[in-house]
Amino acid sequence: MKKVLIPAIIAAAPALALAQSTVDAYTLSQSDLRGTARFMSMGGAFTALGGDLSTLNQNPAGVGVYRGSEVGATIDLNFRAYDTQTPYGSHKDNQTKFACNNFGYVGTSWIGSELRSISWGVSYGRVASFDRITNGYNNPTSTSLTNYIASFSGNQAPGDLSFGQNYNPYFDSNCDWLSILAYNSYMINDKPGSPNNYLGLYQNGTVGDAMYNVRERGSVDQYNFDIGGNISDIVYWGIGFGITDLSYTRDSYYSESMENACVTADNGSSLVTGNAGFELYNTKHINGSGWNFKAGVIVKPVQTLRLGFAVHTPTYYSLSHTYQADVDYSYYNPATGTELSNYNGEPEYTEIASFDSRLRTPWRIMAGAAVVIGNQAILSVDYERQAYDAMHVKYQTSMYNDFAPDDNVNNNIKDIFQGANIVRVGLEYRVTPQLSLRLGYNAQTCNVKQAAVDGNVEVLTSGTDPSFSLDKKITQYIACGLGYKYKGWYFDAAYVHKNNESKFQAYTNWDGFVAPAANVKENHNSVVLSVGYKF
């Protein structure tokens, strides 16, 4: 049942229906260690090596190293474990995922002059996977999501938030969609004697708990088109163009149960102390496509040494967003024994919001060195810098595909994120001309500022889902593998272990109030197999 008041109609689009978010930009901009089994088993340290299908997505100069042609494919079986930890216990979840990680083709044409050869390649690669489960419980809580919503809902008139005859506040007002949903489900209520101000459910003496479950899924796939060359067997150059497809879905559940809360009586006409419970469901989907450009060079000053350098432009995305939410609620007045609830009826829900945005991901710059030891071993080391604080978002200003910078989000990005440093180390030892053994290590520093990890910076989210996750420690990959050659064929296998740690918050901290939060540990174990033919 919706609150019904005489509306004050505002002919403007709802602000949050047109908003990208800081955490969406962050989530969609990240990448994994992915590629062929050889590439992954050496930690991705191929900036100075080349000669592998994965380099089409790393240093395009690697295509110039080829002396022949190649076709190959890779599959990946990934076992994922999630441990959501709070002071009140932990919850563990598991997933198993199977994917075709990479396939491609490289062709070479020999010229015979100082420009020895020209090579070109096309490949498909999975750049990132968004699959994750966060499932936890906090008891007790020191505040409520409803109090957070009340804190930013001030100066929004009740008539603008509530439904009336022929009036839909989601489309006919300029109010925040989460405020509208909360007001019409009695999560926030009018503050007595204070017009256009609201109270949440939590008050002095309230005892409550919170539960949450978030399931994310989706991926970023990239199609690479590279061309490169070999100059005098000393300088190898390459340029590449990438087209990306992105799909991301986030389903979230959040609930609170409270005693001695400030609840509505008589459908909002007065407030009493009673029991409260609500369940907030959100679903969000983002899909789109983008493009990027990359260029690189590999120099071999002497036979045993290779130096590599590459730069990647940001990926420029055109994105489409949809989201919707609904709430089930129950409020009990012990003085009268009456209950206001929609658990046996239709939930309060938002309209379906749809909008477009533009996203510019971080630029990337990388350098590497590789040493050939006695024609039997290769040691390769890479360094990469990714500028997460340079992410940039634009929002749609009209139905005619006009876009403008979202200053609130872009400033929030600079407050929360920082550049990340990545170090990759790979070792390959040739036991026989046919058999090789490999080891790799890859580490990325945390791209989130410590103040944001500690919860001292407001984090902007979009739609009606206020929850988010931020990395808090170094992300590490440890890998090993082997390779076998038979005539033109090669068979490679790798085992890759990834671990990282993030912080989940049900909503952002504000004005000294601390939202329910959890420490989430992820461990991924992958078995990667590649097969290909060189000719």
Amino acid 268: pLDDT: 66
Query: Residue 228 in contact with residue 60, Cβ under 8 Å?
Result: yes
Average of per-residue pLDDT values in the chain: 93
Q: Check pLDDT > 70 for residue 425.
A: yes
Band the pLDDT of 7: cuts 50, 70, 90: very low
Closest CA to 308 of 60, 50, 48, 45: 48
The pLDDT value recorded for residue 8 is 29
Judge contact between 307 and 298, C-beta under 8 A: yes
Q: How confident is the model at residue 138 (pLDDT cuts 50, 70, 90)?
A: very high
Tokens representing 83 are 């441990």
Are 148 and 514 in contact by the 8 Å Cβ rule? The answer is no
What share of residues in the chain are helix, strand, coil (percent, to 5)? 15, 55, 30
Residue 19 has phi, psi (to 5 degrees) of: -115, 130
Give the angle 266-152-502 at the CA atoms, nearest 5°: 110
**Tens of pLDDT, residues 217-268:** 999 999 999 999 999 999 999 999 999 999 999 999 999 999 999 999 876 6
Determine the pLDDT at residue 31. 92
Judged against a pLDDT cut of 70, whether residue 214 lies above it is answered with yes
Q: Residue 6: is its pLDDT beyond 60?
A: no
Per-residue pLDDT averaged across 69-98, rounded? 96
Within the chain, what is the greatest distance between any pair of CA atoms?
A: 95
Average pLDDT of 351-375? 95
Bigger pLDDT: 21 or 251? 251
Is residue 388's pLDDT more than 80? Answer: yes
pTM: 0.93
> How is the chain split into domains, by residue range?
15-110+120-245+291-320+354-534
In sequence order, which residues have a C-beta less than 8 Å from that of residue 323 and are 6 or more positions away? Answer: 282, 283, 284, 285, 350, 352, 353, 462, 463, 464, 465
Minimal CA–CA distance to 533: which of 224, 229, 118, 105?
105
Using a pLDDT cut of 90, give the percent of the chain over it: 87
Tens-digit pLDDT profile for residues 484-528: 999 999 999 999 999 999 999 999 999 999 999 999 999 999 999
Residue 113 is classified by DSSP as: S
Which tokens belong to 61? 């100069």
Query: Tokens 């503050």 belong to which residue?
Result: 191
What Å distances lie between residue 145 and 47, 68, 520, CA to CA? 47, 61, 21
Tell me the per-residue pLDDT of 306-328, one tens digit each, with 9 for 90 and over: 999 999 999 999 999 999 999 99
Which range (102-116, 213-227, 264-278, 372-386) has the least confidence? 264-278
Task: Please say whether the beta carbons of 146 and 261 come within 8 A.
Answer: no
Is residue 323 within 8 Å of 14, Cβ to Cβ? no
- How far is the CA of 129 from the CAs of 28, 87, 390, in angstroms? 10, 29, 22
pLDDT number for residue 346: 85
- Report how far residue 407's alpha carbon sits from residue 393's, in angstroms, rounded to the nearest whole number: 8
Whether the pLDDT of residue 18 is over 50: the answer is no
CA angle, 351 then 352 then 353, to 5°: 110
Quote the crossing angle between the two packed helices 145-153 and 177-184, to the nearest 10°. Answer: 120
Q: What is the pLDDT of residue 165?
A: 85
Q: Is the dihedral of CA 394, 397, 402, 407 positive or negative?
A: negative
- How far apart CA 316 and CA 22 sit, in angstroms, is 16
Q: Is 180 left (phi over 0), alpha (psi -120 to 50) or beta?
A: alpha
Q: What is the pLDDT of residue 15?
A: 41
- What dotted CATH number matches 15-110+120-245+291-320+354-534? 2.40.160.60
Q: Percent of the chain beyond pLDDT 70? A: 96
Looking at residues 411-417, what average pLDDT do you find? 97
